[in-house]
Structure 1
Amino acid sequence: MNAIACPLCGDTQAKQPVAARVPRDYCHCGNCALIFMLPSSHLSLDDERAYYATHENNVQDDGYLKFLSRLATPMKQYLRMGMQGLDFGCGPGPAMPTLFAELQVDCDNYDPYFFPIALQPQYDFILSSECFEHFHQPAQELAKLVALLPKDGLLGVMTDTWQSHEQFYDWHYTRDPTHVSFFHRDTYDWLCQHYGLEVVEWLPPRVMILRKSDKL
C-alpha cells in the first residue's frame, strides 16, 4: 500500500492493509501498532453526530453504570478527596461524576458534541471511557490530554484493544462506523515513550491507567 501517514505517530512507511468483514478500509502501522480507518471510509460529521445521538447512555441504567465501573473502580484507589477531574468524551449521558460522588472529587464533563465546555488545566485525573477509538486525529487528542495533566496526573482509558489481524476481521468494535482508531497493548508502550507517560495498571483487554511522568 502506498505511504500513508499514521494519524498517531506520523510514520509514513508503507502500511499493511487489514481486512474486516465490514465494508471499510483499515491500515496497520508497524511503528506504533495502531490500526486506523482510512479517511475515505469515515462518516461525515453530520452522520457521525447523528450516530452518536443513538447511543443509550442513561445514568439510571444499572447496566451502563456497571460497564463504566470497569474503569471507575480501579481508578478510585488512586484518587483523593478534593481532586479535580475531567470525563473526556463523556457522551450525551455523563455518569462518571455519579460513580465518583462518594469520593468527594469534582469531575467536569466534556464532549465535543454534547458538552463542549472550555477545558481548564490542570486536572488531577482524566477519564476517557470508550473514546479513544473515536479519535480521527489521535496525536492531537493525546497531546491535548497530556497537556491538561500536571506531573503525576492520572489518565484512565477504557477502549478495547485488538489482538491479531484474524481477530480484527470479525471484531465487534469494527461494526460501529464511528470507531476509527484501534489500539494494541504495544500502542500504549509507544504512547509512554512519546508523551512521557508510565503504566500504572493494565487490566486487559480494555482498561489502562497511565501516569504523567517527567521522562520527557
Structure 2
Amino acid sequence: MSGCRLCGQPGAELFASVEGRRYLRCPRCHLTFLAATQLPDQAEEKAQYDLHRNEPDDPGYRRFLDQLGAPLCERLDAGARGLDFGCGPGPALARMLEERGHPMRVYDPIYAPDPAPLDQQYDFVTCTEVLEHLHWPEREWRRFAELVKPGGWLGVMTRFLTDDGHFPRWHYRRDPTHVCFWQPATFQWLAREQGWELVMANNPVALLRRR
C-alpha cells in the first residue's frame, strides 16, 4: 500500500500488475497511478515524446486539439489571456487560440522551460495530453490554482479511464510515460475539495472553473 500522489490519502491499494508495472488506485479521489519506484526519468520521457509528430499545421492534429479548444472558447470573454501548460515542442493549441483572439504564453518543462510564464495569473490555462504524465499531480494542481484567476478556466485533455477490465490491454496504458489515469470521479473530487467547479467532463475533455 502507498499514499495517493494527488490527494495524499494513505492506503492506496494495488489495482493491477501488468507487464511488471504496478498500478495503484486511491479509494478517495479514484486516481490510478504507477508505483513511484517505477516512474520514468526525464531522459526516458523525452525520448518517447520525441517520437511524436504533432505538427501545428496538421489539420488532423488541430481537429484533435479542438475537442478542448472549441468548448473552452465558447466560455471565454473576448481577448481573454491564457497559458498553454505542457505545450510540447510545437505549441499548436496556443497558436489556434491566438488565431481566435486570445493572447497566449507557453510553458513546458522540457521544450519551453523558461519559468517566467508561471509567475503570473491567467484568465484560462490549457493542459492537453499532460495529466497522464504527471509524477506528482498534487503539486501541479496547486500550481493550476495559483495560475488561474478566480472565475477563470482550466481546460484539460486526457483519455479517461472508464473500463477497469480493459485496462491491461488499453493502448493509453501502454505508453511508458503515462503514469496517472483519471476518471470523472477524480475531477469531481477535485471540484469538491480544491475550489473548482466542474462544468464539463466529456471524455477526453474536462473544463473546470476556479471559484
TM-score normalised to structure 1 length = 0.92
TM-score normalised to structure 2 length = 0.94
The answer to whether 1:67 aligns with 2:38 is no
% identity of equivalent residues: 38
What SS does structure 1 have at the residue aligned with 2:119?
A: coil
Q: What letter is aligned with 1:10?
A: G
Q: What letter is aligned with 1:136?
A: H
Contact preservation (8 Å) 1:15, 1:27? yes
The residue aligned with 1:187 is 186
Write out aligned runs for 1:1-216 (5 A): 3-20=1-18, 22-117=19-114, 118=116, 119-203=118-202, 205-213=203-211
Q: 1:86-125 deviations in whole A, cap 9, x for unaligned?
A: 0011111101122123431111111000011222321000
The alignment of Structure 1 onto Structure 2 pairs a total of residues equal to: 209
Task: Extract unaligned runs of 5+ from structure 2.
Answer: none
Structure 1 stretches of at least 4 aligned residues deviating more than 6 Å after TM superposition: none
| Distance (Å, rounded) in 2 between the aligned partners of 1:139 and 1:6 | 9
Quote the offset at 1:14 in angstroms: 4.6
Sort the Cα spacing of 1:14 and 1:39 in 2 relative to 1 into closer, same or farther, 3 A: closer
Q: What letter is aligned with 1:104?
A: G
Q: What letter is aligned with 1:114?
A: Y
Sort the Cα spacing of 1:150 and 1:14 in 2 relative to 1 into closer, same or farther, 3 A: closer
What SS does structure 2 have at the residue aligned with 1:136?
A: coil
Task: Extract unaligned runs of 5+ from structure 1.
Answer: none
